[in-house]
Amino acid sequence: MVRLEPINDYVILKRLESSCNIGDIILPELDKQQIIRAEVVARGPGKILDTGARGPMATNPGDIVLVNVLSCAPTTLPLDLEGEYLLVPEKDIVAIIRE
């Protein structure tokens, strides 16, 4: 089985269904808008800072996130797995959904 490990501050996401509820907020038809809901599958070790150290990552595998796909132009990964997988820089993740 192939294992993808993103580099730097990139995150591999699995796109989820289009609508979701966050508490009392309903986000309908997210796939027709610029924000999509996705699950973090893998993440890189963090961006290399000017000091040479790695910056911390805010996301972890398993997190459910909202991503602004219009600002980042995500790369769709050609994987032989069920679902759509995207590669995006972590800076384009706009929120982590916590329950």
- Please report the pLDDT score of residue 86 as a whole number: 87
pTM of structure: 0.76
pLDDT digits (tens, 9 = 90+) for 17-31: 755 555 555 555 544
Number of domains in the chain: 1
pLDDT digits (tens, 9 = 90+) for 73-91: 666 666 666 778 888 999 9
Contact between 44 and 9 (Cβ < 8 Å): yes
Mean pLDDT of 33-51: 90
In a domain, 70, yes or no: yes
In a domain, 1, yes or no: no
Least confident of 19-23, 44-48, 51-55, 60-64: 19-23
Q: What is the mean pLDDT of the chain?
A: 81
In a domain, 52, yes or no: yes
In a domain, 42, yes or no: yes
In a domain, 47, yes or no: yes
In a domain, 5, yes or no: no
- Please report the pLDDT score of residue 80 as a whole number: 65
Question: CATH number of the domain that 34 lies in?
Answer: 2.30.33.40
Give the 3-state DSSP-derived string for 24-92, with helices as H, strands as E and coil as C: CEEECCHHHCCEEEEEEEEECCCCECCCCCECCCCCCCCCEEEEEHHHHCCEEECCCCCCCEEEEEHHH
Residue 16 sits in which domain range? 10-97
- Please report the pLDDT score of residue 63 as a whole number: 97
